[in-house]
C-alpha cells in the first residue's frame, strides 16, 4: 500500500510547482508525525481526524514557510513549535498537543 501511495504522490508532484511540492511534503510529513503522536500518547481517534482536518489551517496560522526558510534559527523554531502544535484542537477547543 505504501508503494502505491508513493507512486501516486510522485505523479502528483510532477504536475506541481516546486512551492506546491514543498508544501505537500511538509504537510504530509507533519501529518504523519502528529498522527503517530496521537497514537503514542494514547489519544482517541478524534485526535487523528483533527490532525487531518486542521493541518492546512494550522500550517497557515503558524506561518510554516517562515519556519522552513529560517532553517537553523532556534528562535524561529520555538515560535513555530509554540504556535503549530497547540493549534490542533478537539471539539471543546482544548489543544491535543
Q: Looking at residue 12, what is its pLDDT?
A: 60
Query: Is residue 42 classed exposed, middle or buried when 0-12, 13-18 and 19+ CB atoms within 10 A define those classes?
Result: exposed
Q: What is the tens place of the pLDDT at every residue in 34-51?
A: 999 999 888 878 999 999
The whole-angstrom separation of Cα 34 and Cα 59 is: 13
Most confident of 4-8, 18-22, 66-70: 66-70
- pTM (2 d.p.): 0.76
> How many of the other CB atoms lie within 10 Å of CB of 1?
5
The whole-angstrom separation of Cα 54 and Cα 96 is: 12
Q: Looking at residue 37, what is its pLDDT?
A: 92
Q: Looking at residue 56, what is its pLDDT?
A: 96
Torsion sign over Cα 79, 91, 57, 16: positive
Amino acid at each position: 500500500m505504501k508503494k502505491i501511495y508513493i507512486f501516486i504522490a510522485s505523479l502528483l508532484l510532477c504536475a506541481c510547482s516546486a512551492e506546491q511540492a514543498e508544501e505537500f511534503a511538509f504537510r504530509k510529513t507533519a501529518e504523519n508525525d502528529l498522527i503517530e503522536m496521537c497514537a503514542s500518547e494514547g489519544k482517541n481517534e478524534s485526535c487523528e481526524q483533527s490532525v487531518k482536518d486542521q493541518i492546512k489551517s494550522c500550517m497557515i496560522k503558524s506561518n510554516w514557510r517562515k519556519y522552513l526558510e529560517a532553517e537553523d534559527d532556534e528562535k524561529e523554531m520555538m515560535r513555530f513549535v509554540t504556535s503549530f502544535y497547540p493549534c490542533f484542537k478537539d471539539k471543546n477547543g482544548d489543544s491535543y498537543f
